Amino acid sequence: MTKSVLWFRQGLRLHDNPALIEAINTDDGRRQVTFYPVFIFDGESAGTKDVGYNRMKFLLESLLDLDEQFKQLGAPGLFIFQGKPTEIFQNLHDNIGINKICFEQDCEYNERDNEIKYLSRELGIEVVEKVSHTLWNPEDIIRINGGFAPLTYQMLLHTVNVLGLPPRPVNNEVDFSQVNFGTIPEHHKINLRLMKSIPSPEDFLIFPENTGSDVYVNWNGGERHALEQMIDRVKHEEEAFASGTYLPNQANVDLMGSPKSMSAALRFGCLSVRRFYYTIHDKFNEVQDKMVYKLPGGHHITGQLMWREYFYTMSINNPYYGQIKNNPICLNIPWKSSEEDEILKWKQGRTGVPIIDASMRQLLAEGWLHHTLRNLTA
């Protein structure tokens, strides 16, 4: 019998999840699969190494959404552990007998995943890694580009044009009818460091950073909310296509209007980037079929997703990506030294420059900024 784990890190969704499909299927389709959906708080996964209140809240809401969806399917829910992944999986192998681990490729934590692959070889556990957090496999982009990451946006566009269009999303409806959802006996739960329920940010000693500013927009995590939000975003894009333009969030910046950003949902994988990409492009083609004067199609229609791809590609196999020192792709810029409390005033929105201060207070209160404001504050 296959005892299979889907290890969620990002990719916090059921739709377009190749690792999930791999975890619940067998090669011959006849053997029974016992399935365990797992998330591990290890201090790094899903960006928790350096995380504020709003991001942690969004993550926990996303985990709660998954937990509720699995319970609706007849499962005990999402199994949430706290500890080092190698120790958790060693214990799951020894106590439960898991023999297969599936997960989505994570560009940011290769060392952690390599440790799991090494452990699995030692224990005889099958490991399957699938690409779905990015449009293309960053390793393929690097290979086509001559063995190194493209260091300009134009180099990335040239490389992906050689690769061709990204894969379309896999089936959105997953068949769980033949899945046997696994359980964990009570006497193993403490040893495995299984959390009793979805925690709160305060359980990790993470508290709101808001300095008193009003919160106008609450960003809610979870796959179901992301799919609903995408409907509004696609309608927004469709209206722009019909008027003969695209990139409405950049062409017609509305800093006071209701935000249409999908960035948080994409970052945690509550929404598949491939589904978002093809939904927008298919809508563009649909609108163009009705237009007399045609707009040129191409990757520029979803330009922000291409920039996302660009930065993920540069981050893979680069443990120093988030810093200047030892980073092979980063210029050593001689930054001005902070005088007195300049940086603190900037962080708290007390510089005396109204639009900068308003932006930073919004960031503290809501955890998100329009990309125009991000550029201004930077």
Q: Binding site annotation covers 309?
A: yes
Sign of the Cα torsion 29, 31, 32, 34 reads negative
How many angstroms separate the CA atoms of 33 and 98, rounded? 11
AA letter at 342: E
- 121: number of Cβ within 10 Å: 11
AA letter at 69: Q
Q: Binding site annotation covers 311?
A: yes
Q: Binding site annotation covers 304?
A: yes
How many angstroms separate the CA atoms of 135 and 309, rounded? 7
Q: Binding site annotation covers 276?
A: no
How many angstroms separate the CA atoms of 119 and 196, rounded? 27
How many angstroms separate the CA atoms of 180 and 68, rounded? 17
Strands 2-8 and 33-41: parallel
Q: Binding site annotation covers 246?
A: yes
Residue 48's nearest CA partner among 92, 2, 112 is 112
In the chain, DSSP finds a helix count (H) and a strand count (E) of: 15, 6
How many angstroms separate the CA atoms of 112 and 233, rounded? 35
How many angstroms separate the CA atoms of 255 and 124, rounded? 54
For residue 326, what are the contacts with CB-CB under 8 A and spacing of at least 6? 320
Instruction: Report, in this order, helix, strand and coil percent for the chain, each rounded to 5.
Output: 45, 10, 45
Q: Binding site annotation covers 10?
A: no
Binding-site positions for FAD read 246, 304-311
Binding-site positions read 246, 304-311
